[in-house]
Structure 1
Amino acid sequence: MQRPWFRPKRLGYGTAPATWEGWGVTALFVLLAVAGIALIKQFVPLPAGPWRVFGPLLYLIPLLVLFCWVADRHTGDGEG
């Protein structure tokens, strides 16, 4: 088995980056999230109301699901 990119957190729920690949995936996720929201706000005219919140969420939710899937596939068992 390859070295896991993420490891279970010692306290609490979730995972944490354990290697440079894990940190890279996390940084890429943050970069895509911030840049995507900035581009949406700049170039997509969202009307006043709930679409100002839900429009960017339609971008963030699939991105978050993809990040969670990658993190899950590359998470070790925490032993060692």
Structure 2
Amino acid sequence: MTGEAWFRPKRFGYGATPTNWKGWAFVGLFVLVIVAVVLVSIAKAIPAWLTALIILALTGAIISFIKAKTDGEWRWHWH
């Protein structure tokens, strides 16, 4: 994916962190989606294992997008 980076590699550890409002908005939207999934699961009496599976699938789906919008490579950082 080309364009402006929304995330940068973390200074310590593995992964990325938001660098601008678009990255933070994306993270905030993801949190709201997860909260909505949990609330709907409670209201509809969906089993906890299925709710966990849905959340895991959503998390896995956004990782490639975040990697594409990261300015740099995801690797373990010690410095």
Q: How does 1:39-50 map to 2 (within 5 A)?
A: 39-43=40-44, 45-46=45-46
1:27 partner amino acid:
G
Quote the residue 1:30 is aligned against.
Answer: 31
Matched, 1:60 2:55: yes
**Structure 1: tracts of 5 or more residues without a match:** none
Runs of 4+ in 1 over 2 A off after TM superposition: none
**Structure 2: tracts of 5 or more residues without a match:** 74-79
The Cα RMSD (Å) is 1.6
SS in 1 for 2:62: helix
TM-score (norm 1): 0.79
> Which structure has the larger Rg?
1
SS in 2 for 1:16: strand
SS in 2 for 1:13: coil
1:10 deviation in Å? 0.7
Query: Using the alignment, how far apart are the partners of 2:3 and 2:59 within structure 1?
Result: 24
TM-score (norm 2): 0.80
1:58 deviation in Å? 2.1
Quote the residue 1:10 is aligned against.
Answer: 11
The count of residues paired between Structure 1 and Structure 2 equals 72
